[in-house]
Amino acid sequence: MSPRSPPAPSSWWTEASRPSSDRAACLHRFGRPLCSRPEGGGQRFGSPGAEHPPARPRGVFRMKVKTFDHMAVTVSDTERALEFYVGKLGLRLAENHQLEGDKVDEANGLKGARAQSTRLLAPESPDVLIDLLEYYEPEGQTHITPMGSVGSCHFALVVDDLPGAVEELKAKGVPFISGPVNFELTEGSVSVCFCTDPDGNYVELMEEYEH
């Protein structure tokens, strides 16, 4: 089987989906770009000669988590995934770049890895990204861990009209494993349900209510 080639720039990448200036500012660490931009220029993350954050001073440190940056979802087809996440759920494109090279192999514990990284954001939470990863090399296995099993995971998206969102998404062919279920909380309530993306990854939709 011949190696797969990266796809052409996604048709989902439009001016309306480009990152805001707030998110663009968040894409820098230590005053340097975290990775190259889709428009060109810079170097790919992990490529030889790419810039890295300055080394921390030597000493004893107690680990402290500062912020939540992103979560990754491995997909089999980026364009098909974008049709779901952007075309149906309404997320926006934030970054788009290739991952390959010795540093990427070292970081991921793989050999000869080549992947497409397409990062998405929700309009009102630009600091948290969903990273869609499509691996060209090595060829991975398709395996979704059933809900409730160890290794199963999901992320939640907040919507402003859950019943309406469910009705709209079902009309667009999105499969659901549950309908809206309401939970009473101390200071309000929340209604949640679960659907799946084209690869079977779980996505929770939720709406919050105040008493």
Name the superfamily (CATH) of residues 14-47+67-142: 2,3-Dihydroxybiphenyl 1,2-Dioxygenase, domain 1 (3.10.180.10)
Per DSSP, 15 falls in state G
Which tokens go with 13? 């990448």
Q: Where are the alpha helices (DSSP H) in the chain?
A: 21-26, 78-85, 102-108, 162-171
Measure the CA–CA gap between 129 and 140, rounded to whole angstroms: 23
pLDDT in tens, 89-119: 999 999 999 988 899 889 889 898 999 999 9
Name the superfamily (CATH) of residues 143-211: 2,3-Dihydroxybiphenyl 1,2-Dioxygenase, domain 1 (3.10.180.10)
The H helix count followed by the E strand count for the chain is: 4, 10
Cis peptide before 138 (omega within 30 of 0): yes
Average of per-residue pLDDT across 203-211: 90
Shortest CA distance to 179 belongs to which of 192, 190, 198?
192
Q: Which residue has the tokens 């009209």?
A: 161
Q: How confident is the model at residue 64 (pLDDT cuts 50, 70, 90)?
A: confident
pLDDT at 57: 60
Beta bridge mates, 196: 202
Average of per-residue pLDDT across 184-208: 93
Give start-end residues of each CATH 3.10.180.10 domain in the chain: 14-47+67-142, 143-211
Q: How confident is the model at residue 174 (pLDDT cuts 50, 70, 90)?
A: very high
Report the amino acid identity of residue 25.
A
Measure the CA–CA gap between 173 and 210, rounded to whole angstroms: 31
pLDDT at 117: 94
pLDDT in tens, 123-173: 998 889 999 999 998 887 787 788 888 888 999 999 999 999 999 999 999
Which residues lie below 8 Å from residue 110, measured CB to CB, with a gap of 6+?
Answer: 104, 138
93 within 8 A of 18, measured Cβ to Cβ: yes
Three-state secondary structure call for residue 75: coil
pLDDT in tens, 13-49: 654 455 444 444 434 333 333 443 334 433 344 444 4
Average of per-residue pLDDT across 192-207: 96
Is the four-CA dihedral 165, 171, 173, 175 of positive or negative sign?
positive
pLDDT at 210: 81
Of 84-88, 113-117, 143-147, 206-210, the poorest mean pLDDT is in 143-147
pLDDT at 65: 86
